[in-house]
Chain A
């Protein structure tokens, strides 16, 4: 036994600061690094959304501070249309990639998946470290993309990369939306501001991000398949693990497609190929093949959309599945009740993941693709609502008959359910090809995806952080601050996004820096201002959250090993967990993950490792024999 004992210590705990906290191969440290990255990225993204809202509500107003901060984007303190569009682009890209893909999976998944399955680390710790650092490089490149055209010093540094990387034109960051539709994104400087060096860096950043995510996904899948401890059968895994696993599979199969597309796009931009650029273009007064506009022939703009959305739709589920897992986990813990329909939940996660690969065309109904394929995509899209509804029913079923403890984590998990329903249900409208004729690219789309993949996912992450913070840092986050944070945010996001549905029905197009040109939008102005006021309040409330995180790390109330009286493996080990998670002895699992309120048990929860307590048969654990 002692021999085997040593094998658990595959790598000894590092002692130097750099190996321990910077270039660490400990999945827990890497998880926290991902969370910190997401916290930094989300702050940037939020400030961008604030600037956009201010511009939409009071266009043309001069904000002297803007000129100080962004001399090229807001000359005279008035936001230029191209600056607005570059904010749209960067807000979307940063939020989708560096927040919604990093925190739920790279952050919480990294930290808790190995512990929850009873492993001492990820399968490939060094690869894990690499995946974080690659992702961080991607983030730095996307920040460079914002400034390369406006900042002369930065532009100087990049000139060596070739003519298309020459920045410093005194304009703004990339413009293309987070979808970067070709040929706008492929043509280069000739297509206007925001299409120069910044756009190259945008593509490169996303390609780098793809590589980082792929390394992470490979690690997650292998870890889950290979590293489960004794007794941890698949159907005894917490639903969080199922969610992270499915997310990893989605990432593994969808990111390579975006990477392929990104390479083609970059070649179109820097090497004058014609993958996405058709012939006979006449841009900014210049015909393709004359003057400084290279000759392009025969490319297909729609090809980019197919490649992008083949990735883009699964990406939506990459963002939200971990939130679903965390919500199921937290609902059961604080309702003191087993998850209702564990198996159905697992199948629903899988169904959502699988169907997610066959519905990308619903983003492209009116793109010029075959109207027949639109019908197939449309009906498949509506059928994704079925597993989503099953999940909702089961969440409510989990609460039914519970003894709900309203911690901040629980409030956010309940908020997740509410927001997931509110945001997801409008997919029934947008998924119909007929209705898309009216709804495409209006604010109802903005409302739909912000509620469901943005805010709901973030609520899942808030819930996860309030829930696991004591385990990660040994201290609770402040519950009082947490509650204020919850109430303001919950009411705030509804006030922001419900009116946007109405704007969409009226026909307000997205990605407009001003609506002043159009009479039919004039009546919406009060709603636009209402949304902005709500956004300002909601964003201000996040300052409380940041304060709470930092303050609680050092001054929060001390937590013991299992403060929430939860059942899964992370609560069997010390707080915070030792370097190899279980201090050299891996746990053995005897029960399903959510054995709360077991009749006859001494306490109202039975931990997965609890050997002496009997649990009635069925659902994720073996029956006992007499």
Chain B
């Protein structure tokens, strides 16, 4: 093993007797023998990176939520909005899309490529439909003369739904990317692991967007 493990500089071999000390615990990047990355654990980076990224997105919505709660308490100008009808449709759409993307992920795991792509496409369409439905509810409110600056509840309504839509749009781009990029077959353990990891990451993101929407919906229409 020692022969395999050389750095670019020659290792100093003037030890004070005794054999080599044990390699010791692994870094995460290499569970296999030798100093080389293991494709499975390396592709974990997509899942880890996604969770880390979600932590920051969660922090931003936490800050906006706390602003919402503080502003709600400080206000004498708060006029609660009624739930725009289309928002129930939005909610249904995004919950279903969560199911379809989960199916896609599982199909990929069992290497059912066609079903995978089909469910990805469903999810993209459902995501687009969600955005359209959100747009419709904005239009519904605008028709009633309720705009961003009308009152604090409407300000937060447009802000939170808008911020969510922007993030969801990012998720749609990622889905489209998955769909376009892997219409072709892949081979090789590393690429397969990578494809599964990126799909997992996007799935996690999409579920998060779903959960975030439900949270925002409850915040906006229960805490008013």
Once A252-B56, A274-B155, A611-B5 are accepted as A-B contacts, the answer to whether A622 and B148 lie under 8 Å apart by CB is no
A222, B67: Cβ atoms closer than 8 Å: no
Name the residue of chain A whose CB is nearest to the CB of B48. Answer: A222
Query: 26 A–B contact pairs at CB < 8 A?
Result: A1-B36, A4-B36, A7-B37, A7-B42, A218-B56, A223-B45, A228-B28, A228-B29, A230-B27, A236-B24, A253-B55, A254-B59, A261-B63, A267-B159, A275-B71, A275-B152, A297-B75, A573-B9, A574-B8, A574-B9, A586-B35, A587-B5, A590-B20, A602-B16, A609-B7, A614-B16
Q: Which of B56-84 contact A (CB under 8 A)?
A: 56-57, 59-64, 66-67, 70-71, 74-78
Closest CB-CB distance, B7 to chain A, in whole Å? 4
Among A4, A230, A583, the most chain B Cβ lie within 10 Å of the Cβ of A230
| Residues of chain B with a CB closer than 8 A to A615's CB | 21
Closest CB-CB distance, A116 to chain B, in whole Å? 12
In the complex, whether B211 has a CB less than 8 A from a CB of chain A is no
B residues with CB within 8 A of A: 2, 4-9, 11-30, 34-37, 39, 41-42, 44-45, 48-49, 52-53, 55-57, 59-64, 66-67, 70-71, 74-78, 148-149, 151-152, 155, 159, 163, 190
A229, B27: Cβ atoms closer than 8 Å: yes
Task: Please measure, in the bound complex, the distance between the C-alpha atom of A70 and the C-alpha atom of B9, giving whole angstroms.
Answer: 55
Closest CB-CB distance, B209 to chain A, in whole Å? 16
A573, B11: Cβ atoms closer than 8 Å: no
Interface segment out of the listed A73-81, A302-310, A401-409: A302-310
Closest CB-CB distance, B115 to chain A, in whole Å? 29
Chain A, interface size category, equals 35 or more
Choice from B18, B26, B70, B149 contacting A273 with Cβ under 8 Å: B149
A279, B77: Cβ atoms closer than 8 Å: yes
| Residues of chain B with a CB closer than 8 A to A214's CB | 53, 56
B11, A610: Cβ atoms closer than 8 Å: yes
Once A298-B77, A609-B11 are accepted as A-B contacts, the answer to whether A257 and B59 lie under 8 Å apart by CB is yes
B60, A257: Cβ atoms closer than 8 Å: yes
Closest CB-CB distance, A139 to chain B, in whole Å? 21
Name the residue of chain A whose CB is nearest to the CB of B30. Answer: A230
Task: Please measure, in the bound complex, the distance between the C-alpha atom of A119 and the C-alpha atom of B60, giving whole angstroms.
Answer: 31
| Residues of chain A with a CB closer than 8 A to B34's CB | 1, 4, 230, 588
Once A615-B21, A624-B22 are accepted as A-B contacts, the answer to whether A586 and B59 lie under 8 Å apart by CB is no
B12, A613: Cβ atoms closer than 8 Å: yes
Task: Please measure, in the bound complex, the distance between the C-alpha atom of A619 and the C-alpha atom of B202, giving whole angstroms.
Answer: 40
Task: Please measure, in the bound complex, the distance between the C-alpha atom of A435 and the C-alpha atom of B219, giving whole angstroms.
Answer: 40
Task: Please measure, in the bound complex, the distance between the C-alpha atom of A585 and the C-alpha atom of B8, giving whole angstroms.
Answer: 7
Name the residue of chain B whose CB is nearest to the CB of A235. Answer: B25
Closest CB-CB distance, A439 to chain B, in whole Å? 27
| Residues of chain B with a CB closer than 8 A to A259's CB | 60, 63
Once A256-B63, A583-B8 are accepted as A-B contacts, the answer to whether A613 and B16 lie under 8 Å apart by CB is yes
Task: Please measure, in the bound complex, the distance between the C-alpha atom of A261 and the C-alpha atom of B12, giving whole angstroms.
Answer: 54
In the complex, whether A12 has a CB less than 8 A from a CB of chain B is no
| Residues of chain B with a CB closer than 8 A to A578's CB | 8
In the complex, whether A555 has a CB less than 8 A from a CB of chain B is no
Name the residue of chain A whose CB is nearest to the CB of B189. Answer: A3
A590, B26: Cβ atoms closer than 8 Å: no
B48, A625: Cβ atoms closer than 8 Å: no
B149, A589: Cβ atoms closer than 8 Å: no
B18, A614: Cβ atoms closer than 8 Å: yes
Task: Please measure, in the bound complex, the distance between the C-alpha atom of A299 and the C-alpha atom of B41, giving whole angstroms.
Answer: 49
Task: Please measure, in the bound complex, the distance between the C-alpha atom of A352 and the C-alpha atom of B91, giving whole angstroms.
Answer: 42
| Residues of chain B with a CB closer than 8 A to A8's CB | 36-37
In the complex, whether A344 has a CB less than 8 A from a CB of chain B is no
Closest CB-CB distance, A603 to chain B, in whole Å? 7
B148, A267: Cβ atoms closer than 8 Å: yes
| Residues of chain B with a CB closer than 8 A to A255's CB | 56
A588, B190: Cβ atoms closer than 8 Å: no
| Residues of chain A with a CB closer than 8 A to B63's CB | 256-257, 259-261, 307, 310
Once A231-B23, A253-B55 are accepted as A-B contacts, the answer to whether A226 and B42 lie under 8 Å apart by CB is yes
In the complex, whether A124 has a CB less than 8 A from a CB of chain B is yes
A300, B71: Cβ atoms closer than 8 Å: yes
Closest CB-CB distance, B100 to chain A, in whole Å? 27
Name the residue of chain B whose CB is nearest to the CB of A297. Answer: B77
Choice from A226, A236, A267, A306 contacting B44 with Cβ under 8 Å: A226
Closest CB-CB distance, A577 to chain B, in whole Å? 9
B11, A303: Cβ atoms closer than 8 Å: no
Choice from A4, A225, A583 contacting B28 with Cβ under 8 Å: A225
In the complex, whether A441 has a CB less than 8 A from a CB of chain B is no
B4, A612: Cβ atoms closer than 8 Å: no
In the complex, whether A601 has a CB less than 8 A from a CB of chain B is yes
Closest CB-CB distance, A580 to chain B, in whole Å? 11
Task: Please measure, in the bound complex, the distance between the C-alpha atom of A275 and the C-alpha atom of B74, giving whole angstroms.
Answer: 10
B52, A218: Cβ atoms closer than 8 Å: yes
Task: Please measure, in the bound complex, the distance between the C-alpha atom of A67 and the C-alpha atom of B2, giving whole angstroms.
Answer: 70
Closest CB-CB distance, B91 to chain A, in whole Å? 23
Name the residue of chain A whose CB is nearest to the CB of B15. Answer: A612
| Residues of chain B with a CB closer than 8 A to A460's CB | none
Please list the 8 inter-chain residue pairs (A to B) with the smallest Cβ-Cβ separation, ordered nearest first. Answer: A228-B27, A612-B15, A256-B60, A602-B14, A260-B63, A600-B16, A256-B59, A232-B27
Choice from A117, A124, A253, A612 contacting B59 with Cβ under 8 Å: A253
A591, B21: Cβ atoms closer than 8 Å: yes
Task: Please measure, in the bound complex, the distance between the C-alpha atom of A198 and the C-alpha atom of B37, giving whole angstroms.
Answer: 49
| Residues of chain A with a CB closer than 8 A to B21's CB | 590-591, 611, 614-615, 621-622, 624
Closest CB-CB distance, B11 to chain A, in whole Å? 6
| Residues of chain A with a CB closer than 8 A to B190's CB | 7
In the complex, whether A386 has a CB less than 8 A from a CB of chain B is no
Task: Please measure, in the bound complex, the distance between the C-alpha atom of A622 and the C-alpha atom of B48, giving whole angstroms.
Answer: 27
Choice from A123, A261, A602 contacting B45 with Cβ under 8 Å: A123
Task: Please measure, in the bound complex, the distance between the C-alpha atom of A123 and the C-alpha atom of B37, giving whole angstroms.
Answer: 12
| Residues of chain A with a CB closer than 8 A to B75's CB | 297-298
0/1 interface trace, chain A 114-147, chain B, CB 8 Å (1 if under):
0001110001100000000000000000000000
Task: Please measure, in the bound complex, the distance between the C-alpha atom of A588 and the C-alpha atom of B63, giving whole angstroms.
Answer: 43
| Residues of chain A with a CB closer than 8 A to B155's CB | 267, 273-275
Among B7, B16, B151, the most chain A Cβ lie within 10 Å of the Cβ of B7
Name the residue of chain B whose CB is nearest to the CB of A617. Answer: B21
Once A226-B48, A588-B23 are accepted as A-B contacts, the answer to whether A300 and B28 lie under 8 Å apart by CB is no
Once A274-B155, A622-B21 are accepted as A-B contacts, the answer to whether A613 and B14 lie under 8 Å apart by CB is yes
Closest CB-CB distance, A434 to chain B, in whole Å? 27
| Residues of chain B with a CB closer than 8 A to A226's CB | 28-29, 41-42, 44-45, 48
B45, A222: Cβ atoms closer than 8 Å: yes
| Residues of chain B with a CB closer than 8 A to A622's CB | 21-25
B12, A1: Cβ atoms closer than 8 Å: no
In the complex, whether A263 has a CB less than 8 A from a CB of chain B is yes
Q: Which of A258-297 contact B (CB under 8 A)?
A: 259-261, 263-264, 267, 271-275, 279, 294, 297
| Residues of chain A with a CB closer than 8 A to B22's CB | 590, 622, 624-625
Choice from A219, A232, A271, A275 contacting B67 with Cβ under 8 Å: A275
Task: Please measure, in the bound complex, the distance between the C-alpha atom of A255 and the C-alpha atom of B15, giving whole angstroms.
Answer: 48
| Residues of chain A with a CB closer than 8 A to B28's CB | 225-228
A587, B14: Cβ atoms closer than 8 Å: no
| Residues of chain B with a CB closer than 8 A to A306's CB | 66, 70
In the complex, whether A221 has a CB less than 8 A from a CB of chain B is yes
| Residues of chain A with a CB closer than 8 A to B57's CB | 256
Closest CB-CB distance, A472 to chain B, in whole Å? 17
A590, B23: Cβ atoms closer than 8 Å: yes
A582, B76: Cβ atoms closer than 8 Å: no
